[in-house]
Structure 1
């Protein structure tokens, strides 16, 4: 199990079909940061989804929501000012709520560090 003291984001990554999500996640996250009030939870979910210790069911839920977040085509186009990320927020909120127990302190710590590195 990954502990907060041993958290190393690079060790959490796997090459199991998540490459497209991984490549687009950070670009989309930075763009959405102003619109998504719970970005730390989103980034924590990202780390949880890529953690080797996370269950397959949890990964499926999170990767599905994260894929929806990063894909350019969705129900409400992200380029629409003010409302573009509302559908993404709804999908991410539901996914995070469903797997909240699987998002560890280590995932949250890594998320805070990643977000702090943006500035």
Structure 2
């Protein structure tokens, strides 16, 4: 996957784009994660990113980047189909790693605590505050 393509995927987008992505992520994130959690070695970071993206205290640009990365994760079709178990998530991992580098330091302890709670309960608790 070329850096240019990842950069294009992670464009924060305007407010309308972010709203559309947020609706998609809210609707599809948990069902997808539940189906693939055993194959995704970065589940904790992914869930923490989810809570950070939905946190109203998160800066708009950071929300946009995270929503773009999360939207890519939930897409049914991507560069490497996720049906190929671990190998199928390498493109998702590359996009997510690039997103984390771009927003370094914005995913806080409260987001990881919410992620840990959600993963332990195997359900979506209330968003981090």
TM over 0.5: yes
Bigger mean CA offset, 51-60 vs 81-90:
81-90
Question: Aligned residue for 1:29?
Answer: 33
Moved over 2 A (4+): none
Question: Aligned residue for 1:97?
Answer: 101
Q: Could you list the runs of 5+ residues in structure 1 that have no partner in the other structure?
A: 1-15
What is the RMSD computed on CA atoms of the aligned residues? 1.7
1:31-110 mapped onto 2 (5 Å cutoff)? 31-110=35-114
Q: Distance in 1 between the 2:29 and 2:115 partners?
A: 13
How many residues are matched?
105
Query: TM-score by structure 2 length?
Result: 0.75
Q: Does 1:118 align with 2:122?
A: yes
Q: Could you list the runs of 5+ residues in structure 2 that have no partner in the other structure?
A: 1-18, 124-129
Q: Which has the higher contact order (CA 8 A, sep 6+)?
A: 1
SS at match of 2:88: coil
Query: TM-score by structure 1 length?
Result: 0.80
Q: Distance in 2 between the 1:42 and 1:81 partners?
A: 17
SS at match of 2:85: coil
Q: Are 2:40 and 2:86, in contact at CA under 8 Å, matched by a contact in 1?
A: no
